[in-house]
Amino acid sequence: MQNQDRNIKAVVRKVMLKEANDDETDLSYWLTKSVQERAAAVTFLISQSLKSDEQLDKSVVNKVSTLI
């Protein structure tokens, strides 16, 4: 793997809470992602909430990936 210099920059968006419109912004963002990327994100989020001795039932995820 190549060593690449990466700079992380803080991004700040200050808006009034009632004007944030995050639902539409979030939807627009996720609609730009492929079905596979969205499924991977959901799988990751669910796996973060599982206890250490639990496993994610991937049978549904596998069915989705075979339909694509």
pLDDT in tens, 42-61: 888 888 888 778 776 767 65
The pTM score is 0.52
The residue segments making up the domain with residue 27 are 17-67
**pLDDT score for 5:** 78
Quick check: is 12 in a domain? no
Quick check: is 41 in a domain? yes
> What does the alpha-carbon distance between residue 46 and residue 36 come to, in Å, rounded to a whole number?
15
**pLDDT score for 60:** 66
**pLDDT score for 67:** 58
**CA 68 vs CA 3, 8, 36, 63: distances in Å:** 35, 35, 8, 9
> Number of folded domains in the chain?
1
Quick check: is 49 in a domain? yes
Quick check: is 2 in a domain? no
Quick check: is 34 in a domain? yes
Quick check: is 1 in a domain? no
Residues 6+ apart with CB under 8 A from 30: 38
For the chain, residues with pLDDT lower than 70 are: 1-3, 56, 58, 60-68
Quick check: is 5 in a domain? no
SS3 label, residue 41: helix
Question: Would residue 21 be called left, alpha or beta, if left means φ above 0 and alpha means ψ between -120 and 50 degrees?
Answer: left
Quick check: is 7 in a domain? no
